[in-house]
Amino acid sequence: MKVAIITDQHFGARNDSQIFLDFYEKFYEGTFFPTLETAGVDTVLILGDTFDRRKYVNFYSLQRARDMFFDKLQSKNIQVHMLAGNHDTYYKNTNDVNSPDLLLKDYNNITVFSKPEDVEYDGTTILMMPWICTDNYKDCMEAIDKSTSPVMFGHLEIAGYQMYKGHDNDSGFDPKLFSKFDLVCSGHFHHRSGSNNIQYLGNPYELTWADYDDPRGFHIYDTDTNELEFIRNPYTIFTKHWYNDTVDDPLKTDFTQFAGKHVKIIVVNKTDFYKFDQFVERVYQQNPLEV
């Protein structure tokens, strides 16, 4: 059985930016749902942080999330199993009040896990582990200790892994806590990385400049082989250009690459000031989001 795994979608990020919601939708329409159809996936696992804000929701962002993602999952009869992540919970010490439970309870195809639970997928049992906080810590530790599942999916903060590319996290759980599992997949950190039996899956799209040149996407998990297939998101919103008029003619650049993007121009060599002004003007003609 093949299931899709996606995490840290952060609907409503960047102050509920319509531009970023449009950017998200390109991924869902152009990559996510076509892949599910091709792979014959009928189950999607979401490993937390579906919504960006812990304290409230913007109605426009919620409507866009429903239109581009949740409504389509329901219309295609795709079952959805969701974990409560730290961004999904109102309080920091308990998962009892969480946005997926409150905002998505009208969908009959969605199950939300705010407490640890072993779930069987076509003969393979997986321990579903939500955000571990003060209120559920004892239950989570007992679930890890007693579970006979070979696989755990969670929203975890584990020491020694990168939160963003090049930025290690030195706090959180000792990786040895999860050594009994053959495979541990987690959301929470947006950089895709892994070692030994632990894999951070990363979020599906760029959100900040820290995500530049760092592959984003989602995964297809095979319950029979215990293998993960990374499906890369081909769409980006951040781009950099190294300007050097001593090597190439800057005016022969493919300027279409800057359309609808956040752009950084790194000036290596600028000997012709007039040509540089022409270059910048042509960049702006592509209607970038920001230069």
Whether 241 contacts 253, CB under 8 Å: yes
CB 182 within 8 A of CB 189: no
Q: What is the rounded CA–CA span in Å between residue 92 and residue 239?
A: 35
Q: DSSP string spanning 148-202? A: --SEEEEE--BTTSEEETTEE---SB-GGGGTTSSEEEEES-SS-EEETTEEE--
* pLDDT tens over the chain, length 291 residues: 999 999 999 999 999 999 999 999 999 999 999 999 999 999 999 999 999 999 999 999 999 999 999 999 999 999 999 999 999 999 999 999 999 999 999 999 999 999 999 999 999 999 999 999 999 999 999 999 999 999 999 999 999 999 988 888 999 999 999 999 999 999 999 999 999 999 999 999 999 999 999 999 999 999 999 999 999 999 999 999 999 999 999 999 999 999 999 999 999 999 999 999 999 999 999 999 999
Residue type present at position 81:
H
Q: What amino acid occupies position 246? A: T
